[in-house]
Amino acid sequence: MSWLIVGTVPRADFRLAWGPYTVQERAMEVLGANVSVARGTPALMATAFVAARALGIDPPEALIIGDTGSGEGSRALYKYLVENLERIRHAGVTFHYLMPDVVWHNKILWGLEELAERPLLVADAGFMYAAKMSGYADHYDLFTPDAGEMAFLADEVAPHPFYTRGFLLQEESMIPELIDAAFASANAARHLLVKGQTDYVVDGGRIVSRLSEPDTPAMEPIGGTGDTLTGLVTALLASGMDMTKACRTAALANRYLGVLANPTPAFGVAELLPFLPEALDLAMRDAETSL
């Protein structure tokens, strides 16, 4: 199966690129251009690449552009994607750090749904915000929110996590109720992988798995550990693994990553990556015995 990752890199001078990429230690090369692996979409891409290699499958392709927050890069990428949707013959697409824009989101979603073979659709970060705001969240196969973003999905009027009402900061203990509320208002994808102190795997509104161990508190402040989780689930789905098993295995692998790397809160994602193949191997064995 082939997969496409769509997102941005934090550089204003990075031109649109669509194609295969490689990862070497702390850097990636995408069609001749170099990108450092820190957090955001590069962290997702690097994780998916290393995990795909460990799984013995072809790594994903990437469609990326530079955007430092003005949204210009995101809009140029949206336009290019809408004009080139016929290039998507992938089994799935993971959308990531992109400026939330409902109009462009809808054009892309409708275009993808008109393809002869609709790919599996995964959304995280800014594109997940746009998907929820559009009212078409339930057209997606997987969202990967953290606890705060879960509260945002549950609040039917919030246009962004910044405006989530009332229960913010207590949401870790309220995840099951927030999941119910998000599904009741059709503001969730068909599956959710909610990342937090406890990770939840949700299928059609029903919690099918909860994982709290092993726990490494220093992972929470490390920027990009949510991106590694989305990268892991991307690679596992690309390997053909069933959705709920892929979510559970990805969550477990991300937790083992913390145990094996034994990080301080000052670590970066690049320092975690060398431990990823072993973490994934441990998680695959655990998932096999516990499912």
The alpha carbon of residue 62 and the mean position of all alpha carbons in its chain are separated, in whole angstroms, by: 13
Cα separations (Å) of 288 from 4, 235, 283, 285, 291?
27, 17, 8, 5, 6
Eight-state DSSP code of residue 158: -
Spatial CA neighbour of 94 closest among 35, 144, 146, 154: 144
Q: Looking at 160-168, 230-238, 250-258, 273-281, which segment touches another protein (CB under 8 A)?
A: 160-168
Name the residue nearer to another protein (CB basis): 264 or 290: 264
55 vs 65 by CB, closer to another protein: 65
**Minimum distance from residue 280 beta carbon to another protein (Å):** 22
225 binds another protein (CB under 8 A): yes
Instruction: Work out whether 177 is an interface residue with another protein (CB under 8 A).
Output: yes
Among 52, 62, 121, 222, binds another protein (CB under 8 A): 222
Burial code of 141-160, b = ≥16 C-beta within 10 A, e = fewer?
Answer: bbbbbbbebbbbbbbeebee
> Which is nearer to another protein, 116 or 169 (by Cβ)?
169
**Stretch touching another protein by CB under 8 A, among 175-183, 187-195, 202-210, 233-241:** 175-183
Per-residue x/- marks for another protein, 53-82, CB under 8 A?
Answer: --------------xxxxx-xx--------
From the list 50-58, 80-88, 158-166, 197-205, the region that binds another protein by CB under 8 A is 158-166
Q: Is residue 195 at the binding interface for another protein, with CB under 8 A as the rule?
A: no
Q: How far is the CB of 221 from another protein (least distance, A)?
A: 4
Q: Does 15 bind another protein (CB under 8 A)?
A: no
254's tokens: 């991300």
The pair of structure tokens assigned to 280 is: 């994934």
Examine residue 13 and tell whether it contacts another protein (CB under 8 A).
Answer: no
Region for 103 from its dihedrals, namely left if φ exceeds 0, alpha if ψ lies in -120 to 50, beta otherwise: alpha
How many residues does the structure list for the chain?
291
DSSP code for 230: H
Q: Quick one: 100 or 231, whose CB is closer to another protein?
A: 100
Among 178, 202, 211, 280, binds another protein (CB under 8 A): 178
83-102 residues near another protein, rule: CB under 8 A: 97-102
Alpha-carbon gap, residue 198 to 180, rounded angstroms: 17
Residue 38 near another protein by CB under 8 A:
yes
Number of residues that bind another protein (CB under 8 A): 70
Return the closest-CA partner of residue 189 out of 240, 134, 132. Answer: 132
Are 43 and 267 in contact by the 8 Å Cβ rule? The answer is no
Q: What is the rounded CA–CA span in Å between residue 200 and residue 208?
A: 8
Q: By CB under 8 A, name the binding residues for another protein.
A: 8-11, 38-42, 67-71, 73-74, 97-103, 124-130, 133, 146, 148-149, 152, 154-169, 174, 177-178, 180-181, 217-218, 220-226, 264-268
